[in-house]
Amino acid sequence: MSEGLGARVIFRVVGGPLDGVVITETTIWAVIVAIGIIIFALLSVRKLDRYPKGLQAAAELIVEYVYKFVHDTMGKRNLSFAPYIGTLFLFLLFGNALGLLGFRPITADMNTTFAMSSIVFILIQASAIRSGGFGHYLKHFAEPFPFMVPIKIMEEFTFPISLSFRIFGNILAGVIIMELAMEGLHSLSLHTLHLPLPFLQIALPLPLNAFFDIFEPVLQAFVFTMLTMSFIAKAIVARPGAYDEEDDPGTEKTPDGEVENDLFIGGADYSEVRGAERSA
């Protein structure tokens, strides 16, 4: 059953306390993607070897990249966010790329993107309160002038809306364009050129597939994740007692005065990363 541009309803609960609750294809695929990530994680650590190979090597490569990415963007003392950031990116990446398999991406559903943006919003507010205290959190709404309070409050609440609409609009636009292109090629093949099969759908859509089902999903997952990290780091840095990377005893400066981090340099493994995280 189709709901216009919305996701198809798979089934609807009738009767009982959950009467009227609907399960859409977005819900089904979101669960499948989440289970797939969990299975990959469990299989990759099932048998750990000193010299990784196969799934373990792939998992360690992902973990290393995520921790370095979070360190470079948010700072060393915010490495505790790395598991969430890595999970968020993988979930968005595979959820966006479902179009490669001919399915509707889960982020083409506003419910998904708004729910994820709401989680990010809560995380930002919690990080800000934890960083500077509840008193300073309230005080910053009145800076630099008290009349800025309504504007600051509006700014806080418009962030999750803009974040959700950004990824939703881009992914949904790709779905619509691909649907229009396939329908147009189907009609051109059968009704205009009178071909026995819609042969024009075989190769001509490949450039569009490459952009909307490969490049765009990766780009939108990266943008969403990057904005999440940036706003969390901003909420923490903007509060008293904020972490200054130059004051971190675990970092060293190069002769040019740049802060150099030795994380993962010289063959550091994941256990050393966890140790650095605990000591931060």
Q: What is the band of 5 on the pLDDT scale with cuts at 50, 70, 90?
A: low
pLDDT of residue 250: 43
* Whether the predicted pLDDT of 186 surpasses 90: no
4-33: b (≥16 Cβ within 10 Å) or e: eebbeeeeeeeeeeeeeeeebbbbbbbeeb
* Whether the predicted pLDDT of 8 surpasses 80: yes
Contacts of residue 141, defined as CB under 8 A and 6 or more positions apart, other chains included, come to: 148, 149, 152, 153
pLDDT of residue 114: 94
- CB count in 10 Å sphere of residue 206: 9
Give the range with max mean pLDDT: 36-40, 149-153, 240-244.
Answer: 36-40
- Which has more pLDDT, 73 or 252? 73
Structure pTM? 0.78
pLDDT of residue 49: 83
Least confident of 127-141, 157-171, 192-206: 192-206
Phi/psi at 64 (nearest 5 deg)?
A: -60, -45
pLDDT tens column, 52-86: 888 889 999 999 999 999 999 988 889 999 999 99
| CA 60 to the chain's CA centroid | 19
Specify which residues 261 forms β-bridges with: 251
* Residue extents of the structural domains in the chain: 9-279
Q: Comparing C-alpha atoms, which of 82, 95, 83 is closest to residue 36? A: 95
pLDDT tens column, 193-247: 767 767 676 777 778 878 888 899 999 999 999 999 999 988 885 444 444 444 4
Contact 100, 206 (CB under 8 A): no
Q: Comparing C-alpha atoms, which of 163, 170, 169 is closest to residue 227? A: 163
Specify which residues 251 forms β-bridges with: 261
The DSSP line for 44-98 is HTSS--SS--THHHHHHHHHHHHHHHHHHHH-GGGGGGHHHHHHHHHHHHHHHGG
Q: What is the band of 123 on the pLDDT scale with cuts at 50, 70, 90?
A: very high
pLDDT of residue 272: 46
CA distance 19 to 172: 29
